[in-house]
Amino acid sequence: MKEEIIRISKINNIDKIGFCNIKNLKIPYEKYKLQETLNYKCSFQVGDLSDKSLINKKYNIYNTVIVILVSYNKVDFSDKSCVSLSSCAYGRDYHLELKDKMQDICEYLKDNGYIYKTYVDNNPLDERLLAYNAGLGFFGKNNLLINEDIGSYFFIGEILTDAVIESDKIQNNKCIGCNKCIKVCPTHALNDNGILNSKRCLSYLTQSKKLDENDYKYFDNCIYGCDKCISICPYNNIIKEVKNEIDIDEFLSMSSEEYKNKYSSNASYWRGKKVLDRNINIYLNNLKKKK
């Protein structure tokens, strides 16, 4: 069964696939507790410890997590005269893309009498932790998972199933400790204790509806997300760079209907045009102050 699922994954252009036993996950309980104690969790982080460790009753029917990684390109932000969306928002919405890529695996499980449930991003699971348990990488100081072959520029999708499949071995590799990600973080959301302050993460701030004006100075030409700590990681030097530029005048003058027509299949669409308009204007004001 495992070999067949791997074969199906390759046909669907899934870059990496791993398997882990739900009943035997390695969980960093102390890290979760410390994040709670320090009040570092942001509003996007839903669920509780029972969701992270999969001991919640709703997961009792499953035995295995199948985790997939799908690579994406790195957006070039070097031209500070234009704005762009984060690399994760380049092209078609990855939620839809990964669901499509997992469909054949799900059909295979169904045809063999197994139940399944798919997850991509907006859910209470700790997807990076599941990928780690499935042997797909190790953690960097930026809290991102690093795969030695494809770096950190990848999306993660999961299939929970009642099928019993042999687990893959957890990787013992470690971050090289260059600290480049910590140094480049504009809001100091990354620190030496290894716990991300999600409330200070610029990616979170750019997506927040309510902002403190004191945080405006941190905004750069990425108007949705922040790629600073991932782009500087040495493991990502090999990632192909692409342009994701937005015509500022065109974007700001778009009607709601025009915005929907152009961006509804983009990962940034859920946040709404008003927030992105605000971020563009913050960027433009910051640009004026520098002149």
pLDDT in tens, 138-156: 999 999 999 999 999 999 9
- Residue 252's SS3 state is helix
Q: Does 291 score more than 80 pLDDT?
A: no
Residues marked as catalytic: 121
Q: Does 200 score more than 80 pLDDT?
A: yes
Give me the chain's average pLDDT, please. Answer: 95
The pLDDT score that the predictor gives to residue 38 is 87
- 86-90 average pLDDT score: 95
List the structure tokens of 175. Answer: 């971050």
pLDDT-derived band at 24 (thresholds 50, 70, 90) equals very high
The pLDDT score that the predictor gives to residue 122 is 81
List the structure tokens of 210. Answer: 């309510």
Tell me if the pTM is above 0.85: yes
- 87-93 average pLDDT score: 94
Alpha helix stretches (DSSP H) within 198-272: 202-207, 228-231, 248-253, 256-263
Q: Does 193 score more than 90 pLDDT?
A: no
| 2-23: pLDDT as tens digits | 999 999 999 999 999 999 999 9
The pLDDT score that the predictor gives to residue 92 is 93
- The closest of 174, 99, 100 to 132, measured between CA atoms, is 174
Q: Does 207 score more than 80 pLDDT?
A: yes
